[in-house]
Amino acid sequence: MSSISKSNSKGEPLSKTESSSGGVVQDVRLGPAPQLRQNRSFISILGMALAITAVPFGVGSPLMSTVYGGGQLSLFVGVLVVVILQSTVAVSLGELASRYPTSSGVYYWSYRLMEEKRYQNAMASFTGWVWLIGNWTIALSVNFGFASLIVATASTYNPEWTASANETLFIFFGICVTIFLLCAVADRALPLVDTAAALWSVITVVAILLALSITAKAGRHSASYGLTHYDGSLSGWGYGFSFFIGLLPPAYTLSAIGMVMSMAEECSSPETEVPRGISLCVPIGGIVMLVFVLPICFTLPALEDILTAPYGQALPYILATVTGSKPLTLALLIMVLLVTLFCSISITTTASRCTWALSRDGMLPFSRIWSRTIFDQPIYALALVTVLQMLLGCINLGSTSAFTAFVSVGVIALALAYLIPISISLVLCRTEVSKARWTLGRRLGTMANSVAVCWILFQLVLFSMPAALPVTSVSMNYASVVLVGFLFLCAIYYFAWGRKNAQGPKDDITIVVY
């Protein structure tokens, strides 16, 4: 690996976005002395992206939304619609990741794309905080969802036992500490773990496919009923908008695919490995989702009965009802729990890298601490992510609806963070991404970016809406309110301290040629 500082092969000065290596731009601090261990390949990046999607958990955990969304039609067609639309987001992010392969991700991209220098720091700071909030809260949603699934699994096997809020919280704490130890101690093995996680997710989906198809104790539906049945009366939104409520499970599953961009500095060729991993994750994940939802569609119990499932967890109820066997249901749920464990490891790892990368530019309070590495890994940033999750988890003791809002804000924040650099690039006629090694070209790229922007804007509305009407103080979706509150606090921090002290990425760059 060689480095060229501020000049091209002819010795001519380079601007901050020009590159002598086929469109690759890296920050001076990301050059010849990397802080993190470079042990990631394309396969491990793809495996990590698939581990984060965690289809049995990603679709299964919010599956109740599909019931409110009308049943089989919204589940089956919803997967197809979301996969097509989210693919445009994936390839749009892939182009930017190829142009600017850095763990700072959208924060760095928005800074480099903003032509007005006086707005660069403000735009980077806003995008960075949205990105951080999304990473932290989506990790929180996975780990607390993990705890809820453990409780629901135990309740399915022993209906007489009911977990208190304190017991659920302690299970959540145990998960957070366990994931921290695994990520800290087994860092060298994590690329292999991510690959194994992707394979285990597929094995689990196939096991559920066989179990539901063979047993079908609740009966089998015809092809027309299994794929097109739609009851829009359950949500209270009416027969039109109810369908979109059913898009939530597949949209949630694919919402965090962009988080793997935080692993860029652990790859040997991030300008191609990261975009390929992000873009291929969606179609592969879409196929796995179809294999997962089809047996559910053809064996689904009555929708009204699923609404009574303990802890609002539809998947354990469906498995228990359809298989009619507690041991088989328990075995399947344990497989799903292992999928969730792998997802927690991967998503916590990426959240820690994001925290470390932005601390490197002084964005966070006490950034000097969080940007330190031990044994080529950001242990302090990992600890910060873990502690923040545990603190936010305590909110569940005071208000379940408030905590649900914190969990929901993860998807909205990630979507908003994706939207900012994609929109800027599109407005600037894709000038920068056209220089990337991995690019769609002008026409196809413009079309993909435009669809991605429209889809993300719709997601921001969709994930801010309550799943059912009429709305009560408990069922109301406060996610948008919480996000605005977070951003207000971030704005206070920026104007009080960050504007003068956090200067964003440096203008001087080192071009790294692989």
Residue 4 predicted with pLDDT over 60:
no
**Alpha helices by DSSP H, 158-219:** 165-185, 190-215
3-state secondary structure of 3: strand
Stretch 32-59: mean pLDDT, rounded?
Answer: 88
Nearest to 277 by CA among 360, 194, 188, 207: 194
3-state secondary structure of 29: helix
Q: Distance (Å, rounded) from C-alpha 196 to C-alpha 47?
A: 8
Predicted confidence (pLDDT) per residue in 424-455, tens digit? 999 999 999 999 999 999 999 999 999 999 99
Q: Distance (Å, rounded) from C-alpha 346 to C-alpha 355?
A: 14
Helices 479-493 and 117-157 cross at an angle (nearest 10°) of 140
With bands split at pLDDT 50, 70 and 90, how would you rate the model's confidence at 36? confident
Which range among 347-356, 466-475, 499-508 has the greatest average pLDDT?
347-356
Predicted confidence (pLDDT) per residue in 98-143, tens digit? 999 999 999 999 999 988 878 888 899 999 999 999 999 999 999 9
Instruction: Please tell me the predicted confidence (pLDDT) of residue 159.
Output: 84
Residue 28 CB burial class (10 angstroms; 0-12, 13-18, ≥19): middle
Instruction: Please tell me the predicted confidence (pLDDT) of residue 121.
Output: 87
CB 513, CB 20: distance < 8 Å: yes
Stretch 326-332: mean pLDDT, rounded?
Answer: 95
Q: What is the 3-class SS of 388-407, one letter each residue?
A: HHHHHHCHHHHCHHHHHHHH
Q: pLDDT exceeding 90 applies to what percent of the chain?
A: 71
- Identity of residue 282: V
Domain ranges (residues) in the chain: 2-212+242-513
Residue 402 predicted with pLDDT over 80:
no
Residue 17 predicted with pLDDT over 50:
no
Nearest to 410 by CA among 104, 128, 135: 135
Residue 286 predicted with pLDDT over 70:
yes
Q: Which helix (H) or strand (E) holds 93?
A: helix 72-99
Residue 6 predicted with pLDDT over 80:
no
Instruction: Please tell me the predicted confidence (pLDDT) of residue 373.
Output: 92
Strands (E) across 272-350 are located at none
Nearest to 373 by CA among 156, 187, 224, 232: 187
Q: Distance (Å, rounded) from C-alpha 155 to C-alpha 163?
A: 8
Instruction: Please tell me the predicted confidence (pLDDT) of residue 37.
Output: 82
Residue 31 predicted with pLDDT over 60:
no
Stretch 56-62: mean pLDDT, rounded?
Answer: 94
Residue 55 predicted with pLDDT over 90:
yes
Residue 206 predicted with pLDDT over 60:
yes
Mean pLDDT over all residues of the chain?
88
With bands split at pLDDT 50, 70 and 90, how would you rate the model's confidence at 500? confident
Predicted confidence (pLDDT) per residue in 72-91, tens digit? 999 999 999 999 999 999 99
Q: How much is the pTM?
A: 0.90
Residue 30 predicted with pLDDT over 70:
no
Query: Where does residue 318 fall: left (phi above 0), alpha (psi -120 to 50 degrees), or beta otherwise?
Result: alpha
With bands split at pLDDT 50, 70 and 90, how would you rate the model's confidence at 399? low
- Identity of residue 259: M
Residue 302 predicted with pLDDT over 70:
yes
Helices 72-99 and 442-462 cross at an angle (nearest 10°) of 130
**Alpha helices by DSSP H, 29-71:** 42-53, 55-60, 64-68
Q: pLDDT exceeding 70 applies to what percent of the chain?
A: 90
Stretch 281-310: mean pLDDT, rounded?
Answer: 96
Instruction: Please tell me the predicted confidence (pLDDT) of residue 21.
Output: 42
Instruction: Please tell me the predicted confidence (pLDDT) of residue 311.
Output: 80
With bands split at pLDDT 50, 70 and 90, how would you rate the model's confidence at 471? confident
Kindly calculate the radius of gyration of the chain based on its CA atoms and give it in whole angstroms. 22
DSSP symbol at 502: -
CB 268, CB 41: distance < 8 Å: yes
CATH number of 2-212+242-513: 1.20.1740.10
